[in-house]
Structure 1
Amino acid sequence: MTNHRAIALVFAVHGAVAGTLSTRIPWLQEHLDLTPDVLGLILLCQPVGAFVAMPMAGRLAHRLGGRTATRLMLALWCACLALPALAPSPPWLAAIFLLYGMAAGTCDVVMNSQALVLERRLGRSIIAGLHGMWCVGSLAAGGVGVLAAHLGIDARVHLAVVSAVLLVVGGLAGRGLAANESSEGVPAPRRFALPSRAILAVGLVGFCGTFAEGASANWAAVYVTAVASAGPGVAAATYTVFMLCMAATRLVGDRFVRWMGAVAVVRGGGIVAVAGGVLVVAGRTPWVCMAGFALVGVGVAVVVPLVFAAAGGAGVTPGEGVAGVATITYLSGLIAPAVTGWAAGALSYPAAFAMITAIVAGMTLLAGALRPRPAGAVAQDRQLEPMAG
């Protein structure tokens, strides 16, 4: 197995874990008799755990080596999949989701860092396609989960079996990763890597793209139901179309990056997403709104991968840069669904998505932050900024 195929499989396995658990949330709610507000608080534990753990991931990769850290954290992430169904009470489930989020976020950082090391070695963009493989893994595992739920398979059995299978597949993928690079002469990342000024600029682009992605993924089905009077089938199809457009765009996105460059691709994607946002806001029929969400998915699909790539070059090590910007994007993903809901409640659904369209327009204007930094600028930033641990 080549290094490229191995890291692609790692991304697919990571996505498969996320896609599998998402299909069994209704079972968890029924099994523990959770009210919607309690379930919401429990689900919040996952991004909180990721947000807390991500800044420390760069240090972990430096100490263990990128290959070892990726294999270890992917195994932990796969193993955590079996735990939620075993929770005896809501407090235990909250603690498990906190651990689950910490494993997810840390694995996210180290595998993206490993991908960027390979990308530099190959001398061509591969990061967008790898994130496309994450979508493929999530969609495939989600389909299996829907089938398992439809057949009435107990979630404890389903999650345990999938966890074991993914542990094996993830272990095989990890064996194909490039050997750990020597860290001799490379300064250790800070124990808790707060974003530098350069990473904050890159992260702001990621914040805008992730905000639009998170809001659309969580609210697309609700939007077409409330605004366009869509039925349950069309509402579900709107979310599926959005995700499929993101996955397909990521799988071919690297070709456009090699041809046009990251800045032009993000700006072009921003224009497409703004056009989609206009359709969503102005449309009052299900198919127009669905087309709008499809364009939003195409437009923001490669923003996060390219933001990670730019951040990997803005930090002292790829791990530190990715950890800093991932913290910002996870914060965006954490607040986007809630802010969208508040705006929709206070104003209207179209007004909320008009706000999101404006945020995407801002991302288009800020895309220049993704240009590669001059040699020596990163080291200079490190000398000027205070240590964070």
Structure 2
Amino acid sequence: MRDKERRSVAAVFGAHGAGSGTFASRLPWLSDHLHLSAGKLGIALLMTSIGAICAMPFAGRLVARLGTKIVARVLICAFALVVLAASWMPSLPALAAATTVLGAVGGTSDMAMNAQGILVEKRMGRSIMSGLHGSWSTGVLVAALAGSLAAHQHVSARVHFAIAAAVIAAVAVAATHAFRTTAADVGLAEEKSEDVPLFVVPRGVILLIGLVGFCGIYAEVAAQDWSSVYMHRTLHGDEAEAAFTTGMFAFTMAAGRLSGDAVVGRLGAAATVRACGVVGALGGLLVVVARSPLPAVVGFMLIGVGVSVVVPLAFAAAGHAGPNPTLGVAGVATIAYGAGMAAPGMIGGIANLTSLRVAFTAVTVLAGLVALGGGLLGRNAPAAVHGGGGEAAGASAHADAVGLAAAAEAEALANEG
């Protein structure tokens, strides 16, 4: 039963990632359709981050009141529909309004599915969050390939988005049926949703975990958005080499996430994050010192490995840090996803003042800070997440049912009602 629920949550992660990948894959169509310059398109994309950051502090109360099942199901369907609506926007202001809503529903549904993932992880007594985020990355890649094929066949983005929205919504509705929603299933004690604050302000250990997540996401977004530009402008690679670099970064990040749970099970969360931070810092250093394309490609691949587990383990650590996983996730996401908004502009600003090499020096430093903060991401994990298995996993699952009794009650009660 637990493994079935894990697969269902993974499918929801994949559906959410497919929504993001579908939208990203047809940005050139949107740009050409509305005659947008790169700067104007950047404004529309910035509104996505703003919408997400504005909505996330309220996500904890919403999920506590309605439950992860309802929020994930409804908002992922809404996410797919807003992607479709974006293709019909007649102007930049209208597109910016659509992308603001896109960020809000996408960010809030992200909180719900991560909170459900943490609950399943608690019940299973072992790390699963890295694999869930690997499913998200896989959804992005599959959707991006589908978008590339649709564009190659000259299929309108409106037709493409309509088909994708139907598939994503169907997967979300079907997969959320397996979410365990009753107090008897969860086996946890009672907590009133009214006790959950309306607006989550991260503080204490949640704030520190969020800062580690910020460093990881900054490095991730910087590499994802700027790797091809770095390869083309700084190292004078051709367009094929530039695109290949971005693809290899995405590949190693997805591979790292899909294999991350096995590594965490063997080494523990803290040691895994420390090791990945060191790998990411070495990759950033290799990018900075490279004088030809090949070493830089290897460097970006190492960055992909280095950042792969940071976000899922930051969410997991936040969810295990307090009595309500949704509040922890929302608090960390508010900080960490701010990096997604800050990174592209900061990289560009530093590059304008100095160079892209100097800008990626900052990425190297932030990856090093991830290694230093690795202990924060393992301190509250179940015993099986710290390392070890067998009896430790069983003891952890029993301890979760007794000692972490308030962990999921908000969503249990909300879904019963």
Q: By the TM > 0.5 criterion, same fold?
A: yes
Q: CA deviation at 1:373?
A: 4.4
Q: Does 1:230 align with 2:237?
A: yes
Find the aligned partners of 1:224 and 1:133 in 2 and give their Cα distance.
28
Q: CA deviation at 1:180?
A: 4.5
SS, match of residue 283 in structure 2: helix
SS, match of residue 81 in structure 1: helix
Q: How many residues align?
A: 378
Find the aligned partners of 2:226 and 2:7 in 1 and give their Cα distance.
34
Find the aligned partners of 2:157 and 2:36 in 1 and give their Cα distance.
16
Q: Which moved more, 1:67-76 or 1:263-272?
A: 67-76
Task: Provide the TM-score with structure 2 as the length reference.
Answer: 0.88
Find the aligned partners of 1:98 and 1:49 in 2 and give their Cα distance.
4
Q: CA deviation at 1:258?
A: 1.1
2:117 match: 115
1:134 match: 136
What amino acid sits opposite 1:185 in the alignment? Answer: E
Which runs of 5 or more structure 2 residues have no equivalent in the other structure?
Answer: 382-398, 407-417
1:384 match: none
- The partner residue of 1:185 within 176, 180, 191 is 191
1:122-168 Cα distance to aligned partner (Å, 9 max, x none): 01100000000001110001000011111111111111111111111
What amino acid sits opposite 2:254 in the alignment? Answer: A
- The partner residue of 1:249 within 256, 264, 282 is 256
In 1, are the aligned partners of 2:306 and 2:367 still within 8 Å (CA)?
no
What amino acid sits opposite 1:155 in the alignment? Answer: A
2:102 match: 100
Q: Does 1:76 align with 2:82?
A: no
SS, match of residue 190 in structure 1: coil
In 2, are the aligned partners of 1:67 and 1:180 still within 8 Å (CA)?
no
1:319 match: 326
What amino acid sits opposite 2:9 in the alignment? Answer: I
Q: Does 1:352 align with 2:336?
A: no
2:409 match: none
SS, match of residue 306 in structure 1: helix
- The partner residue of 2:220 within 201, 213, 226 is 213
Task: Provide the TM-score with structure 1 as the length reference.
Answer: 0.94
- The partner residue of 1:163 within 156, 162, 165 is 165
Decide whether aligned partners of structure 1 residues 43 and 183 sit closer, same or farther in structure 2, where only a CA change above 3 A counts. Answer: farther
- The partner residue of 1:91 within 90, 93, 99 is 93
In 2, are the aligned partners of 1:71 and 1:171 still within 8 Å (CA)?
yes
1:277-311 Cα distance to aligned partner (Å, 9 max, x none): 11101111111100000001001100000000000
Alignment RMSD: 1.8
Q: Which moved more, 1:241-250 or 1:56-65?
A: 56-65
Q: CA deviation at 1:73?
A: 1.7
What amino acid sits opposite 2:30 in the alignment? Answer: L
What amino acid sits opposite 1:95 in the alignment? Answer: A
In 1, are the aligned partners of 2:270 and 2:379 still within 8 Å (CA)?
no
- The partner residue of 1:259 within 254, 266, 269 is 266
Find the aligned partners of 1:316 and 1:144 in 2 and give their Cα distance.
41
- Identity of matched residues, %: 43
2:378 match: 371
Find the aligned partners of 1:69 and 1:157 in 2 and give their Cα distance.
27
Find the aligned partners of 1:276 and 1:190 in 2 and give their Cα distance.
41
Which runs of 5 or more structure 1 residues have no equivalent in the other structure?
Answer: 380-389
Q: CA deviation at 1:358?
A: 1.0
- The partner residue of 2:65 within 63, 66, 71 is 63
Find the aligned partners of 1:213 and 1:36 in 2 and give their Cα distance.
21
Q: Which moved more, 1:247-256 or 1:59-68?
A: 59-68
1:195 match: 202
Find the aligned partners of 1:218 and 1:199 in 2 and give their Cα distance.
28
Find the aligned partners of 1:163 and 1:66 in 2 and give their Cα distance.
21
What amino acid sits opposite 2:69 in the alignment? Answer: R
1:100-142 Cα distance to aligned partner (Å, 9 max, x none): 1001000110100000000000011000000000011100010
In 2, are the aligned partners of 1:66 and 1:180 still within 8 Å (CA)?
no
Find the aligned partners of 1:33 and 1:281 in 2 and give their Cα distance.
35
Find the aligned partners of 1:270 and 1:183 in 2 and give their Cα distance.
37
Decide whether aligned partners of structure 1 residues 180 and 224 sit closer, same or farther in structure 2, where only a CA change above 3 A counts. Answer: farther
Find the aligned partners of 2:22 and 2:10 in 1 and give their Cα distance.
18
Decide whether aligned partners of structure 1 residues 15 and 180 sit closer, same or farther in structure 2, where only a CA change above 3 A counts. Answer: farther
